[in-house]
Amino acid sequence: MSEAHRYSIPADEARVELRVINSRFIATAFPAATVADAKAGIGRIRAEFADATHNVYAYVIGFGATTTLGLSDDGEPGGTAGRPALAVVRGSGLGDVAVVVTRYFGGTLLGTGGLVRAYGDAVRAVLEVLPRTERIERRSLLLAISYSQYELVKRLVSAHHGEVQHEEFAADVTLSLRFAVNEISSFAHALNELTAGQASLIDV
């Protein structure tokens, strides 16, 4: 399978703590398949460390060209916290991931460079211990077929590891399908042969 259609995601949550000149940096990384997941996790960690000086976050939802990114410096000087955290996450090869770095100020200012290093190092440390799994990129398609082709096409969908998500019966049958991206071209070819080119797939 093409690497473009697989990407690494967190399999679970992980946490590490670093100390930098008396400041504590607690980095928590967790799976986030949607922005709502990321925001819920960020809210949960902020509540857990409600007495912290800062709860900086960064997230990458999706993978490759179709990502949604988010970050916050949470009161740290602009560009010293959320941006270096996000840069490390993006460089990790992970998708569907959020990281919160909680800081308890230790009384000594770290300076701009020190903050950038501390937040970057905290994210690198938690991503090193974060358990990973793989997600396969999937795509939704619509297909209109005749009633006579219905059973044959459903068997063809199954043979190509597809999923029928919805069926609509009118003058013809409209199927809402979902496939792993790498299965689509072989399914389309088999469908073309089965229906003598009369059925066409539509990207949703």
pLDDT in tens, 73-119: 999 999 999 999 999 999 998 999 999 999 999 888 888 999 999 99
Q: How far apart are CA 38 and CA 13, in angstroms?
A: 12
Domain locations along the chain: 3-135, 137-203
DSSP assignment of 83-119, as one string? HHHHHHHHHTTB-SEEEEEEEE--SS--HHHHHHHHH
Mean pLDDT of the chain: 90
High-pLDDT (> 70) share of the chain, %: 96
Q: How far apart are CA 50 and CA 126, in angstroms?
A: 21
Nearest by Cα to 119 from 135, 96, 100: 100
Question: What is the structure's pLDDT at 3?
Answer: 43
List pLDDT tens digits, range 37-64.
999 999 999 999 999 999 999 999 987 6
Between 122 and 195, the more confident residue is 122
pLDDT reading at 4 higher than 70: no
Do domains 3-135 and 137-203 share one topology? The answer is no
Q: How far apart are CA 67 and CA 94, in angstroms?
A: 11
Question: What is the structure's pLDDT at 202?
Answer: 80
Mean pLDDT of 14-30: 95
Q: How far apart are CA 107 and CA 60, in angstroms?
A: 32
Question: What is the structure's pLDDT at 182?
Answer: 77
Question: What is the structure's pLDDT at 5?
Answer: 65
Q: How far apart are CA 145 and CA 100, in angstroms?
A: 48
Superfamily for domain range 3-135: Impact, N-terminal domain (3.30.230.30)
Q: What is the largest CA-CA distance in the chain?
A: 76
* pTM of the complete model: 0.70
Question: What is the structure's pLDDT at 204?
Answer: 65
Could you give the C-alpha distances from 1 to 27, 53, 86, 118, 147, in angstroms and in order? 33, 45, 28, 38, 33
pLDDT reading at 19 higher than 90: yes
CATH architecture observed for domain 137-203: 2-Layer Sandwich (3.30)
